[in-house]
Amino acid sequence: MTIKSLQCRECKKEYVPTFKYICDECFGPLDVHYDFPSVSKNTFANREHTYWRYFELLPIAEKSNIVSIGAGMTPLIRAEKLGQALGLNNLYIKNDSVNPTFSFKDRPAGIAVSKAKEFGLSSVGCASTGNLAAATAAHAAKGGFPCYVFAPSDIGHAKITQALAYGANFIAVDGTYDDANRIAAQIGDSKGIGIVNINMRSYYVEGSKTLAFEVAEQLDWQVPDNLIVPVGSGAMLNAICKGFEELENLSLLGKVSGMHIVAAQPRGCAPIVDAFKKNSSDVIPVENPDTIAKSLAIGDPGDGRYVLKRLKQYNGYAEESSNREILDAILLLAKTEGIFTEPAGGVAVAVLKKMVEEKKIDKNDSTICYVTGNGLKTTEVLMEVLSKPETIQADIAKISAMVR
């Protein structure tokens, strides 16, 4: 690839692509703009089964700087049984829960850590609601970087354990994600740490574009009708849109303007849904998020207003789901498709169900539901609704009587 510039999303001022993420003029976020080489569908056809197959469309200059743990090219599953249960004839699950660290965050984290290597930084880190901690720590381990994770102390046990196992320095902040994020921003800038989702954010978000590239390729370069996307900060939803638009501009896809995009948030932390329903462009932060979907518990979403813009652009919707609806959706997905997701994926499936019930999605449309994290990371929330099996004496007669 060749990066042309970093361009301010607001005032469009262009900058030389360095270790920089905010516009000096208006404090707007900077996005990567490219001079793409000419590519065709065949360029990617027989490449490795990771998101690095799209190297020409990603912001890394030298292949030698790639830090890869084999993420991406996750299955796009034709979900016939879940589709039947919901009343959809053409439903697909993008199962990103099977990435190496078990969430989609391996995509942005891998790009940011590779870019940190390209910039010659000496350490990396992140502010995390849980999944990014593991993804950053694993890529840091592979790339040989010290890693600093800043996260609220109440994220799930499995997520903390996982990041520690990869060798991260884990700073468990007594506060919300937004508190952890503020601290990470200040420490990152003062100590020159590449905080993947803050001062490396322009490059970081580019990784999530590959959620668009893969779906397009897996659909044999057809444009889907609907996308259901779980939303925390909104970075992933924006990046997916950018990805589809880049494919159209490269003539790899037809017009993408007919897609509909649905933003899914959990009740108790749904500031974007609130703004959407009030038809307001102001996202009012939620001070104390309260939801079982902890990975989406971002009260002050950095890309919130850009998500609202995307929903306008793509005739989309924003909807929320309650804790109970999230748990029911996790079990429905597990029991119909054999896919076990964490609450973030449950939020997407629960909101999809509402969209069908409210006839906002046509039953014959091609619909992609992004399932972004793995259920094994959050088993504690499910034990609220599943009963722990009773221990039975190892007696054939007794046990045989229990089996039909």
Ligand X SMILES: Cc1ncc(COP(=O)(O)O)c(C=O)c1O
| Interaction site with ligand X (CB under 6 A) | 103, 105, 129, 131-132, 230-236, 295-296, 298, 344, 372-373
Partner that binds at residue 305, options ligand X, Zn ion, none, CB closer than 5 to 8 Å by kind: none
Partner that binds at residue 10, options Zn ion, ligand X, none, CB closer than 5 to 8 Å by kind: Zn ion
Partner that binds at residue 232, options ligand X, Zn ion, none, CB closer than 5 to 8 Å by kind: ligand X
Tell which residue, 318, 378, 370, 369, has the closest CA to residue 343.
Answer: 378
CA angle, residues 368, 370, 371, in degrees to nearest 5: 135
Q: Indicate whether 10 belongs to the interface with Zn ion (CB under 5 A).
A: yes
Place of tokens 């601290």: 183
Q: Which is nearer to Zn ion, 12 or 49 (CB)?
A: 12
Residue in 2, 4, 20, 26 binding Zn ion, rule: CB under 5 A: 26
Selected range binding Zn ion among 17-25, 91-99, 224-232, 258-266, rule: CB under 5 A: 17-25
Q: Indicate whether 30 belongs to the interface with Zn ion (CB under 5 A).
A: no
Q: Which is nearer to ligand X, 298 or 356 (CB)?
A: 298
Partner that binds at residue 114, options Zn ion, ligand X, none, CB closer than 5 to 8 Å by kind: none
Partner that binds at residue 233, options ligand X, Zn ion, none, CB closer than 5 to 8 Å by kind: ligand X
Selected range binding Zn ion among 5-13, 47-55, 62-70, 143-151, rule: CB under 5 A: 5-13
Q: Which is nearer to Zn ion, 24 or 290 (CB)?
A: 24
Tell which residue, 273, 289, 259, 221, has the closest CA to residue 365.
Answer: 259
How many residues comprise the chain? 404
Name every residue whose Cβ is closer than 8 Å to that of residue 123 and which is 6 or more positions away in sequence.
145, 146, 147, 148, 191, 192, 193, 194
Q: Indicate whether 6 belongs to the interface with Zn ion (CB under 5 A).
A: no
- Minimum distance, C-beta of residue 399 to ligand X, in the bound complex (Å): 38
Partner that binds at residue 197, options ligand X, Zn ion, none, CB closer than 5 to 8 Å by kind: none
What token pair was written down for 273? 């849904």
Burial 243-256 (b: 16+ CB within 10 A, else e): bbbbbeebebbeeb
- Minimum distance, C-beta of residue 234 to ligand X, in the bound complex (Å): 5
Q: Indicate whether 23 belongs to the interface with Zn ion (CB under 5 A).
A: yes
- Minimum distance, C-beta of residue 22 to Zn ion, in the bound complex (Å): 8
Burial 130-166 (b: 16+ CB within 10 A, else e): bbbbbbbbbbbbbbebebbbbbbeebbebbbebbeeb
- Minimum distance, C-beta of residue 33 to Zn ion, in the bound complex (Å): 14
CA–CA gap between residue 328 and residue 316 (Å, rounded): 24
What token pair was written down for 47? 């490449």
Partner that binds at residue 344, options ligand X, Zn ion, none, CB closer than 5 to 8 Å by kind: ligand X
DSSP state of 53: G
Q: Which is nearer to ligand X, 94 or 105 (CB)?
A: 105
Helices (H), 146-294: 157-165, 177-191, 201-208, 210-218, 235-249, 271-277
Q: Which is nearer to ligand X, 181 or 226 (CB)?
A: 181
Q: Which is nearer to ligand X, 90 or 181 (CB)?
A: 181
- Sheet with 76-78, strands from edge to edge, namely 76-78, 91-95, 367-371, 226-230, 260-266, 317-321
What token pair was written down for 149? 């994770």
User: Which residues contact Zn ion (rule: CB under 5 A)?
Assistant: 8, 10-11, 13, 23, 25-26, 28
